[in-house]
Amino acid sequence: MKALKFTLQMLNKGLSILLFIVFFAVIVLVVSNKFTGGDFQVFGYELKTVLSGSMEPDIMTGSVIAIKTTDEGQRFEKGDVITFRADEHMLITHRITEVIQGGQAYRTKGDANNAPDQEPVPAENIVGQYTGVHLPYVGYVLSFAGSKEGAALLMVLPGLFLLGYAFFSIGSVLRQIDDKKEEQTAEEIIK
Q: Which of 4, 42, 11, 7 is nearest to 168 (CA)?
A: 11
Q: What is the H or E stretch that residue 21 is in?
A: helix 2-36
Q: Residue 172 pLDDT more than 70?
A: yes
Grade residue 140 by pLDDT with cuts at 50, 70 and 90.
confident
Q: Going by DSSP bridges, is the β-strand pair 91-100/45-49 parallel, antiparallel, or unpaired?
A: unpaired
Indicate if the pLDDT at residue 125 is higher than 60: yes
**What letter represents residue 46's amino acid?**
E
What percent of the chain is modeled with pLDDT above 90?
31
pLDDT score, position 137: 85
Give 10 or 65, the one with higher predicted confidence: 65
Q: What number is the average pLDDT over the span 159-184?
A: 81
Other C-beta atoms lying within 10 Å of the C-beta of residue 82: 23
Is 52 assigned a catalytic role? yes
Angle between the 138-146 and 2-36 helix axes, to the nearest 10 degrees?
A: 60
Q: Tell me what the pLDDT averaged over the chain comes to.
A: 83
Please compute the mean of the pLDDT values over residues 110-131 and round it to a whole number: 93
| Cα–Cα distance, 61 to 77 (Å, whole number) | 25
Helices (H) and strands (E) counted in the chain, each on its own, are 3, 8
* pLDDT higher than 80, residue 48: yes
- Please identify which of the residues 16, 52, 54, 172 carries the catalytic annotation: 52
- In this structure, of 11-15, 31-35, 92-96, 129-133, the range with the lowest mean pLDDT score is 31-35
Comparing 83 with 177, the larger pLDDT belongs to: 83
Domain chopping of the chain, boundaries = 2-34+147-190, 38-144
Q: Is the pLDDT of residue 121 over 90?
A: yes
Q: At what angle do helices 138-146 and 148-190 cross, to 10 degrees?
A: 100
Please write down the HEC assignment for all residues of 93-117: EEEEEEEEHHHCEEEEECCCCCCCC
* CATH level 3 topology of 38-144: Umud Fragment, subunit A (2.10.109)
